[in-house]
Chains A and B, each alone.
Chain A
Amino acid sequence: MTAAAGLPMKTKLAARRFVALAGALLLLVLCVTLLPAGWHDLDTGAALAQDTAVTEQVAGVVAPKLEAMDYPSIAGVNSRVAVWLVAQLHLWFAAFILAVPIFVFIIEAIGMATRDKRYDDMAYEFIKISIAAYSLTAILGGLLVFCLIVFYPHLVQYLGAIFKESMFYYALLFFAESAALYVYYYGWHWLQGGFKKWVHLTVGLVLNAVGTALMLLANAWLTFMMSPSGIDAAGVFTGDIWTALHNYLWNPINIHRFVANIAYGGSIVGAYAAFKFLSAVRNEDKAHYDWMGYTANFIAISALLPLPFAGYYLAAEIYAYSQQMGITLMGGVFAWLFIIQAVLIGTLFLSANYYLWCGMSRSDGAVRYNRYVKYLAFVIIAAFLVWFTPHTLVLTNEELKALGGPYHKYLGPLGIMPAKNTAVNIMIMFTALSFLIYRRANRIATVPWEKAGNAFQVALYTSGILNIFFLGIYHGYFTNTVYKVASSIPQVATTLIVIAVSVVIDALMYRGAREVAPLRWGRVPDRAQYALFLLAVAFTWLMGLMGYIRSGIRQHWHVVGVFRDSSADAFTPALGYAANVVSVGTILFMAMVVFVFWLSQISGVKSVPAGFWKERQA
């Protein structure tokens, strides 16, 4: 490791041991949680059988049959909306504080490897924002527990009986996370240089391992409510804690949330950087926050690109678990919310790309590439329009008659999944292309094979696009449903191959490249910062909306097929009502985020009140 160069041998060894230990811990957490379902059913010998024998069985947990009067109420408070809003606010903050340490750790490691202190300073500023958010997450988590106990005591009791071990250790893990976070934050300037820096980095790794473990445990509780496991034919839970945790939808949610959290965390710190950029007066501050905003946007885009694939995987697993639930999800009452989802995801892609295009003004060499931006914008907008084209339309009788049915003659075919899969793959591919162009803007390649390299990249993109269209059109419109679904996987593979290969070629082509001129951080229009705000707001709204859908597909069940919801609110609300609740939640969350940003702002301000303090004689 280059970062360890120059350290005494003993220090190097100790540092390696620390990193190995922390790495092993993280690996252990991931291995235990990500093993395929049913692994413990395999015949793994006597030792495992013995272990299983001593594992405490949570046998015979029966779901109660409730009446509406069994749900306590408070005058003037709607239980469902109260729990809905508090849970959503808690989740937004939790996603943020779990994601920030992940990329803070990576940025700190980059700073350590390159010995560039700017990375270290930026990482510190990122973690500083999450400290205030951490308290808010804990407060909202506590409020959520109280709300659940007050409004849904029987459900809490039922889940508590099944998950008591994991709930107990979840609470204990908070101590570990708090300790790791505080040492990581307050020890930042203390643990600097050589071996101390390795220790600090290790604390960061432990913080992330504990944070991830917390997320995995909480995910298991909600996925158990969607896809309960360990339930016998009579509806009685007879499994052990691992059976309950490792239910069918656990890992799909884990993967989706892990990736989404990083994208979300990136968008929120991007908004922070935009806020600081717009309020900065000095040029050096503008340059710093411009760089910070760019890094945050880069993090958000990097996680945003694989996110639709993680979403498709989750949706496919929901279908695989219960076709009825899958149809409710995308073919039933919630289908129209997916149109709003498409609009919001399109907004995310457009704002992220727009920010990159505005950012090209930092470079004097960007003038060579500016003419391509309009083509990128055209393709991304066209893909966006296809993506949110609905299959059926909400029409009056007259309109239906005039149209000859619910499907539009030309736009109807764009409403089905093969068209949308094609559109989203193209959108992702062109976002990656935007980034490649941005990266090239200020550099001139010096390798002798530059022309061949460019030609290869153009051919790679061209053949990739043709292949995606071939799969989307041929399999999507001229085969059966099995082929339609199956061909989405080679489409994804094509997109990933194009992105990976073009990035590798670009990195090789621009190795040792000349700079056109020094990059001018801070020379970016203010409107680029509003794109960062839009990214954060659209992400928040989107998460709230999709969170509602994920929870809403349980319909009139607390635990699907096992524990019926008999409260007065056991119905699916109208879409407009649901969207309003999510919007109120988004406004509340953004208000709290502004509060967190403001706290971070005032923490660096010192007032010197003339004549307030008594003068002391020396």
Chain B
Amino acid sequence: MKGYLVPFAAALVICGAGFLAVDYAIMSLQGLTLIFHP
């Protein structure tokens, strides 16, 4: 289990950050921000 947990946690952080970066980039390309400003 230990062999899975550390790489899983590390990958979760990396992938999560990566997806947020993708979200940010695509929303910016459409002239919008990731967090909504009314």
Binding site for B on A (CB under 8 A): 451-452, 454-456, 458-460, 462-464, 466-467, 471, 474-475, 478-480, 482-483, 486-487, 489-490, 493-494, 497
Contacts and interface: CB of A to CB of B under 8 A. Distances in A.
10 closest cross-chain pairs (CB), A and B: A459-B11, A463-B15, A455-B7, A455-B8, A479-B36, A467-B19, A459-B12, A452-B7, A456-B11, A490-B23
Given A458-B8, A483-B36, A490 B27 contact: yes
Interface string B10-30: 111011101110110011001
A216 to B, nearest CB: 29
A451 B30 contact: no
B19 A486 contact: no
B3 to A, nearest CB: 4
Contact of B22 (A459, A478, A480, A490): A490
30 contacts: A451-B4, A451-B7, A452-B7, A454-B4, A455-B3, A455-B4, A455-B6, A455-B11, A458-B4, A459-B7, A459-B11, A459-B14, A462-B12, A462-B15, A463-B12, A463-B15, A464-B15, A464-B19, A466-B16, A467-B16, A480-B38, A482-B32, A483-B32, A489-B30, A490-B22, A490-B23, A490-B27, A493-B22, A494-B19, A497-B22
Contacts of A475: 36
Given A451-B3, A486-B30, A490-B26, A478 B36 contact: yes
A460 B11 contact: yes
Given A464-B19, A467-B19, A497-B22, A459 B8 contact: yes
A472 to B, nearest CB: 12
A490 B21 CA distance: 10
Given A451-B7, A475-B36, A460 B15 contact: yes
Contacts of A466: 16
Contacts of B8: 455-456, 458-459
Contacts of A478: 36
Nearest to A456: B11
Nearest to A449: B7
A471 B7 contact: no
Interface residues of B, number: 24
Given A455-B4, A474-B36, A497-B22, 20 more contacts: A451-B3, A451-B7, A452-B3, A452-B7, A455-B5, A455-B6, A455-B7, A463-B15, A467-B16, A467-B19, A467-B23, A471-B23, A480-B36, A480-B38, A482-B32, A486-B26, A489-B30, A490-B23, A490-B27, A493-B26
A463 B27 contact: no
A463 B19 CA distance: 8
A486 B16 contact: no
Contacts of A479: 36
A454 B38 CA distance: 41
A452 B22 CA distance: 24
A315 B4 CA distance: 43
A456 B8 CA distance: 6
Nearest to B26: A490
Contacts of B27: 486-487, 490
Given A467-B16, A467-B20, A478-B36, A489 B26 contact: yes
Nearest to A489: B26
B19 to A, nearest CB: 4
Contacts of A463: 12, 15-16, 18-19
Contacts of B32: 482-483, 486
Contacts of A451: 3-4, 7
A482 B37 CA distance: 12
B12 to A, nearest CB: 4
Contacts of B4: 451, 454-455, 458
A359 B27 CA distance: 41
A494 B14 CA distance: 14
A460 B12 CA distance: 7
A486 B6 CA distance: 35
Contacts of B11: 455-456, 459-460
Given A463-B16, A486-B32, A456 B22 contact: no
Contacts of B30: 486, 489
A479 B14 CA distance: 27
